[in-house]
Structure 1
Amino acid sequence: MSRKSSRKQVAQVGEESIDIEEIIKQVLQSEEMLNGISKIVREAIKPLEKRLVSLEKQVGELQASLDDLAAYNRLTNLRIYGVKEEPKENTDQIVIGICASIGVTISDEHISVSHRIGRNMNGKRSRAIIVPYISSTKPIIIAVTETWLSASHPDNVFDVPGYEAHRRDRLTRGGGVMLYARKDVKVKRLFDLEDIEFETCYFNISLPSLQSFILGVCYRSHEFSPMPQFVDHMSDFNGHSAQWCPTKPSTLDGNCLYDFALKEGLSQLVTKILALDD
């Protein structure tokens, strides 16, 4: 083949290539193709649009919840103005001193954190002190189960300011129960009600109002299978209910025990007198 004819064929191929590119361009720009691509894209983004709407709704709900929480937290915030700002000051002690000067006794246990708010103006103006209180009330009793503590864990590691801890650790791994009692509450541990087989602690609680009651903290492990043995260990409550035994009049304790047994589906196993008067 001559060099001249080869060049002619190459030119024809080049012209054909240009024609193909033009056809492709026309097809891609045709209304039918654009409509088809648009439809495919719309179908593809529909789930994303729904997801976006759902996320926007969740963000709105979270923002509303955050606003409510912030408004609630501000109810326990106190702002103090006009206190001269000093370098390396202790704002907790400043607040305690101010309260003492007006006859209000508080301690650092009542304050979660205190600090100056706003930008530091290099001493030109003293900033306000904000004091978020931990709580307006402190629970009398805090009961904890499954503490996983052992004799190797000292009490001071788990101190809660203003509370006294009473604990019973499991001799093996896991389990354990604990009671935190506010220090203005008188607590007596009732060891005679406890049993080595069960993770329980019993206390006589005497409130400042002179009311008293017995409180038990109990934990039943998932590994404890003989449920009848656990339930049968109930001792003598000295409570009487005529609804299960008409030989004696009902007492308040007996009626409460009867209601508890009824709600929990417990049954009376004793069918005869086990104790006789002398």
Structure 2
Amino acid sequence: MGTELHEKISTIECENKSLRKTVAELTTKVPSLEDNEDRQNQYIRRHWLRITGFRESPDESTDNIVISMCKSVGATISIDEIDRSHMVGKPKPAADQSDSLRPRDIIIKITNCRARQNSVYEENES
């Protein structure tokens, strides 16, 4: 009985040692993977723009809002350069308890970086 118990303890200690080694390896990999993910997300986000402060109406498309906003500041963007656009989050009531809704941000995915840079730089110059 003593040898049997000793063998079980020895087996558990070996398994524990192996598991600790695995945990240590994974613990060092996690920060590297998080950093990689952050870099990938940043690369993906380079095609995205966020605009704020536009009142929404049920029958207006966010693409049209974006095009109008760009025209109003002297930037040019065509519908072909917008991959997709949408409001962010759920509609929320305005702070003053009126019937209106608080404006939501609009996220726009531009088809290429050049179009994004042109619209942002033209917007900043005006």
2:110 is equivalent to residue 111 of structure 1: no
Is contact 2:47–2:112 with CA below 8 Å preserved after alignment? yes
Match of 1:130 among 88, 96, 107: 107
Aligned-residue identity in percent: 33
In structure 2, what is the Cα distance between the partners aligned to 1:136 and 1:47? Answer: 48
1:118 shift after superposition: 2.7
Change in CA separation of 1:57 and 1:113 when aligned onto 2, cut-off 3 Å? farther
Which ranges in structure 2 are unaligned for 5 or more consecutive residues?
Answer: 94-99, 116-126
- Using the size of structure 1 for normalisation, the TM-score is 0.34
The answer for the alignment partner of 1:68 in structure 2 is 39
The answer for the alignment partner of 1:12 in structure 2 is none
Is contact 2:46–2:113 with CA below 8 Å preserved after alignment? no
| Counterpart amino acid of residue 134 in structure 1 | T
What secondary structure sits across from 1:112 in the alignment? strand
- Using the size of structure 2 for normalisation, the TM-score is 0.65
Change in CA separation of 1:108 and 1:54 when aligned onto 2, cut-off 3 Å? farther
Q: Aligned residues, how many? A: 109
Equivalences for 1:79-228 in 2 at 5 Å?
Answer: 79-121=50-92, 123-137=100-114
Greater helix proportion:
2
Deviations 1:15-55 (A, max 9, x none): xxxxxxxxxxxx4xx6x654432221121344444334434
Which ranges in structure 1 are unaligned for 5 or more consecutive residues?
Answer: 1-26, 139-278
1:107 shift after superposition: 1.3
| Counterpart amino acid of residue 101 in structure 1 | S
Larger Rg: 1
Change in CA separation of 1:89 and 1:48 when aligned onto 2, cut-off 3 Å? farther
Deviations 1:45-70 (A, max 9, x none): 44444334434444332211111222
Change in CA separation of 1:88 and 1:48 when aligned onto 2, cut-off 3 Å? farther
1:75 shift after superposition: 4.3
Structure with the bigger RCO (C-alpha within 8 Å, sep 6+) is 2
Is contact 2:85–2:106 with CA below 8 Å preserved after alignment? yes
